[in-house]
A and B are shown apart, each in its own frame.
Chain A
């Protein structure tokens, strides 16, 4: 609780700084260092089921750049407060701080870029901008969490030609960086100690394509997986279309995960956006096949402040879920 009080006390100090504008970070004195962060408060109501309130993703970022070198440090507290109402009332608090992103980047030219540390795996589009306030909906598509490791701890090498064509190599042969600080499960959707992957990005005027293929191994039971992923993004002044599809298969088993989604977002007025998403995922490991249709509405009084609502309909069990959130980038 003390950490929340410190956070709530420090946040208005950021806003009081003369040079500060919300969502742009705060320069530390005259140094090349900038401080920022984000948080999200989510409310979920499974009609005919449970309701919950989660104070989610409180993160602080510190980053800077000097010449060809740059670095990013991001510490996050996840599910800081969780309250499930009604039937089995349950309240949890967790103030564990995790290393979300900690990396050094060296870019000696427009062709080569090397990243060393823990960073978002550059797979698809959703995973590059995964925080609630910057994405279209509060919930994330199922396959963005089920097919590939969201974070890589190791080396990322980008080779870019004429800005439009980029080849990416990911090399991880060590446990997640977060295991240095916590004995418990690593802060990643897969607790891995190996991840090797190749990616290719092609950018056209308003359209960008990404293709990824990789291998990773889970740390505790040494289960190994192969995956393939493809993604498409189309952007215009009013429309944003995202489509991603992925496949994961056990290296020594026939278990597989397969899924995809198509999301269309339309800006209707300034600061207002309507979102429709259809998605499906078939997961052998969980013995679960889930499809859903989502309608969302997002209002941004300021761009770095998002008030979101969405309704999800799961046709298999005819279940409906409502989700609301308030999220801020500072």
Chain B
């Protein structure tokens, strides 16, 4: 029965590692799939419910960004870099980079169409909505 005492600790750890895609308040009932998220973060999908999206990234060295790129984009950092260099010739820009998770959440709260990946545990009582839970 001793393992029961460890269960809350296990759930807290799991929640800290779990990440989600969040979006701005007015778009409450959005549900995305992994393919759509990949398209959004590669600049191939621009709209959800007729609102223009503004995807956000964490700094390159952030472990959550590394995890997101491997799990959702399924591309190495080198390939992603090459992809955006080609897009530069086509006049397209990569997602805006925010300095921290807190900054990401504040931006999503404030800006219509902003979309970002954050740890589930960081959402708290912020008025933002989960669009994707892996």
Which residues in A have some Cβ–Cβ distance to B below 8 Å?
A: 23-25, 34, 36, 38, 61, 63-65, 67-68, 70-72, 107, 109-110, 129, 131, 134, 163, 237, 270, 303-304, 329
Contact = CB atoms under 8 A, between A and B. Distances in A.
A34 B86 contact: no
Given A34-B93, A163-B39, A303-B82, A110 B45 contact: yes
Contact of B50 (A36, A109, A304): A109
Given A67-B52, A163-B45, A23 B88 contact: yes
Interface in B7-64: 39, 44-47, 50, 52
A329 B87 CA distance: 12
Secondary structure call for the A interface:
loop
Contacts, number: 50
Contacts of B91: 34, 61, 63-65, 70-72
A36 B86 CA distance: 12
A65 B47 contact: no
Contacts of B82: 303
Interface of B: 39, 44-47, 50, 52, 76, 78-79, 81-82, 84-86, 88-89, 91-93
A231 to B, nearest CB: 17
Contacts of B47: 109-110
A65 B46 CA distance: 12
A110 B52 CA distance: 9
Contacts of B84: 24
B88 A36 contact: yes
Closest 9 CB pairs of A and B: A63-B91, A23-B85, A72-B91, A110-B47, A303-B82, A25-B88, A304-B85, A303-B85, A109-B47
A309 B78 CA distance: 23
A110 B76 CA distance: 26
Contact of A24 (B46, B76, B78, B88): B88
A72 B87 CA distance: 12
B89 A131 contact: yes
B85 A329 contact: yes
Most buried by B among A23, A38, A64, A270: A23
A134 B89 contact: yes
Given A67-B52, A68-B52, A109-B47, A303 B89 contact: no
A24 B52 contact: no
Contacts of A134: 85-86, 89
Given A71-B91, A131-B89, A270-B78, 17 more contacts: A23-B88, A24-B88, A34-B93, A36-B89, A38-B89, A61-B89, A65-B91, A70-B91, A72-B91, A129-B89, A134-B85, A134-B89, A163-B45, A237-B76, A303-B78, A303-B82, A329-B88
B66 to A, nearest CB: 17
A237 B79 contact: yes
10 contacts: A38-B89, A65-B92, A65-B93, A72-B91, A107-B46, A129-B86, A237-B76, A303-B81, A304-B85, A329-B85
